[in-house]
Amino acid sequence: MNAGETRRLSVPATDAGIKAALDALESLWAAQGVSRAVTWPVEVSLDEVLANVVRHGLAGRGESAQVELELQLEPGDPPRCEVRIEDDGPEFDPLAAAAPDISLGVDERPIGGLGIELVRRLMDEVHYERKAGRNSLRLVRRLVAMEQ
Amino acid sequence: MEIGEERTAGALVIVPVGRVDSVSSGELERHVVARLDAGERRVVIDMAGVEYISSAGLRVLLVAAKRLKPPAGALVLCGLGPGVRTVLELAGFTSLFAVEPARAQALARVEAQASA
């Protein structure tokens, strides 16, 4: 592995912005030679967080609203990945949301509500901070295979 | 994401390939719903080519499962890689779906379910 890398980008609060963010993460893995077998939890989590920000926090603002991202990969055994997502939408702490009931059957199961729970379970650490009118969420994961 | 299909005598196999995320899942949902609206009742979703799935993709699977409940319908998933399987497990979805290792077993199961 190389010396590690940090990438900063700003994407619009649209589907195209989410795609650009996921593409940037994919390109970071490729540049650093990290296997997708250990990176998928980060991609799923970033998708969940951005979907929330774009469809709720910044909904309706489209191209005029930006989400700031910092993608960081530190080499090591295992490598460590940290992703920071910042937006200027209304205060929203995803960690304060109640966990969904995952024991319900097909008929009772509400559609949706699972995203944040997945992030909690896939990441080693999730930190939320509200400062200077901005939401800042930090996701951390050591890139090891996920055993079930 | 690309969506492939294979039709067998007894079932329709839908084959999403790539990332099933919050952006691409809308396309997958429209595809699946169009097939169900057209009368498909025995469906296999082969996920061998799926790089990862997020909750937006799980939502599509749930929509399909609700509409293909036995005995009138049958839905079987197959080809789950470790990442896809882990997400389904974390969401408590594995108990909601019939899951088989590969397409051949999935086709056998979907036909058995439909005739049960």
pLDDT on residue A98: 74
Higher pLDDT, A61 or B56: B56
pLDDT at B116 over 90: no
Q: How many CA atoms lie within 13 A of B80 on its CB side?
A: 23
pTM: 0.92
Contact at CB, A118 and B86, closer than 8 angstroms: no
Q: Which long-range contacts (CB under 8 A, 24 or more apart) does A24-29 make?
A: A24/A69, A24/A71, A25/A71, A25/A83, A28/A71, A28/A73, A29/A73
Res. B35: pLDDT tops 70: yes
Can you tell me the distance from the alpha carbon of B102 to that of B88, in angstroms, rounded to the nearest whole number?
Answer: 17
Residue with tokens 């939401």: A135
B114 pLDDT higher than 80? no
Judge contact between A65 and A89, C-beta under 8 A.
yes
Q: A106, A120, A144: best mutation site toward chain B, by most B Cβ within 10 Å?
A: A106
Q: What is the mean pLDDT of chain B?
A: 94
Element (H or E) spanning A22, and its range? helix A15-32
Nearest CA-CA partner of A24 in A60, A54, A68: A68
Name the helix (H) or strand (E) containing B111.
helix B103-115
Which residues of chain B are at the A interface, by a Cβ-Cβ cutoff of 8 Å? 19, 21-23, 51-56, 58-59, 62-63, 65-66, 69, 82-83, 85-87, 89-92, 96
B22 and A41 within 8 Å at the Cβ level: the answer is: no
pLDDT value for B113: 80
Mean local confidence (pLDDT), B73-82: 96
User: Minimal CA–CA distance to A21: which of A40, A47, A44?
Assistant: A47
Cα A96 to Cα A148: distance, rounded to the nearest angstrom: 26
Measured distance CA(A100)–CA(A110) in Å, rounded: 9
Task: Give mean pLDDT, residues B52-61.
Answer: 95
**What does the block give as tokens for B100?**
């088989």
With a pLDDT cut of 90, the percent of chain B lying above it is: 86
* Angstrom distance (rounded) from CA A46 to CA B21: 10
Residue B13 has pLDDT above 90, yes or no: yes
Mean pLDDT, each 10-residue run in order, chain A (148 residues)? 85 95 95 92 96 87 91 94 96 83 77 82 96 96 84
